[in-house]
Amino acid sequence: MGVGFGVGDSWVAFASTWHRMDAVVRAQCWVNGVAGAGVTHLSALFQVAGLTLLAVGVYSAKNATSVAGRYIEARLGRPSLVRETSRISVLEALWHPLQVSRRLLSKPQDALEGVVLSPSLEARVRDIAIATRNTKKNHSLYRNILMYGPPGTGKTLFAKKLALHSGMDYAIMTGGDVAPMGRDGVTAVHKVFDWASTSRRGLLLFVDEADAFLRKRATEKISEDLRATLNAFLHRTGQHSSKFMLVLASNQPEQFDWAINDRIDEIVSFDLPGQEERERLVRMYFDKYILKPATEGKQRLKLAQFDYGRKCSEIAQLTEGMSGREISQLAVAWQAMAYASEDGVLTEAMMDARVQDAIRQHQQKMQWLKAEGTGPAVASPYS
């Protein structure tokens, strides 16, 4: 559509120039008089032909440059809405050829490496990972996925792992960045999909907080600019694609426009971790942020003597209702407390103190959510 308008504008400008040249030639013939009319007219024809070719060349070059610019932008320039991507740019390949080569030659990762889920959810998302990988191998059409659930339950992490497991690139955008763009939102959305469609490896487009701009058009009070942006998004996702896979994440999927629901092939609920999952998370993050720094490298962090396994089990019981992200933040707090101490030693009492702080903070967050009416007690229509 944009190319068509560019050619039309160029033709109008060219026609205008043609009329001006024709008027100049006619005036020149009249001034030269009848005696030299034949020779002058022949000379004028050559002048017109030369100027015509020049004008055609100028306007064709201008239009070709515009088309080439849009093509290069779609292939090389990362859209402004994309916050993070694994897709390798030309500049990255030029500046870091060895690192890029290792990434391209690396083996596919396990889709659930570092992702702690319940057994039933783990089995389901593993099936999705296998299906997505086979879809890429067979150059088939990708299926779109909606992942919903409380924040910090592993949705973004799984989306990244899914892309890497399938040999695809991933790109992350957030719905909260779209609304402030106003009238530029439509162009920005088209740029994202133009860019995604040029990926040779296939692209997993992950839209976090998707409900921030994919709201109901009939009942929600949204601006005309946001409505136009939503329509552009719906236009670009009306059919399945073999170039990109759409993955939406939301904490409140009931706010989606119905046309968005119609584009979803698979709905996956990511719930808060249970007792067993919390213990796995506590042990995993304790190993990552405490044990490894205490036993490897410069060993700046030291760990007092106590039963680590028993302590992890106790903490798993005390952290009921917490998300995986909150448990990760708790482990980081243990590490920070050890570094802040005079001797750099993390004791059992220090861990207990941070656990109690985390529990109080979690309870405060739940009170805020309850006051807003968006707490865990509010059921999802997909449950």
Q: Would you give per-residue pLDDT tens digits along the chain (383 residues)?
A: 444 444 445 444 544 554 555 554 454 444 444 334 444 455 555 565 565 566 556 555 555 544 444 545 445 579 999 999 998 876 666 666 776 666 666 677 788 888 999 999 999 999 999 999 999 999 999 999 999 999 999 999 999 999 999 999 999 999 999 989 999 999 999 999 999 999 999 999 999 999 999 998 876 678 899 999 999 999 999 999 999 999 999 999 999 999 999 999 999 999 999 999 999 999 999 999 999 999 987 777 999 999 999 999 999 999 999 999 999 999 999 999 999 998 999 999 999 999 999 999 999 999 998 888 765 544 444 44
| Residue 57 and residue 64 in contact, taking contact as beta carbons nearer than 8 Å | no
Which residues, in sequence order, are CB contacts of 191 under 8 Å at separation 6+? 73, 74, 79, 80, 81
Beta bridge partners of 338: none
Which tokens go with 197? Answer: 């469609």
How far, rounded to the nearest angstrom, does the alpha carbon of residue 375 sit from its chain's CA centroid?
A: 27
| Residue 216 and residue 343 in contact, taking contact as beta carbons nearer than 8 Å | no
Distance in angstroms (rounded) separating the CA atoms of residues 283 and 260: 39
- Positive/negative CA dihedral, 356, 362, 366, 369: positive
pTM of the shown model:
0.76
Which tokens go with 63? Answer: 């239009």
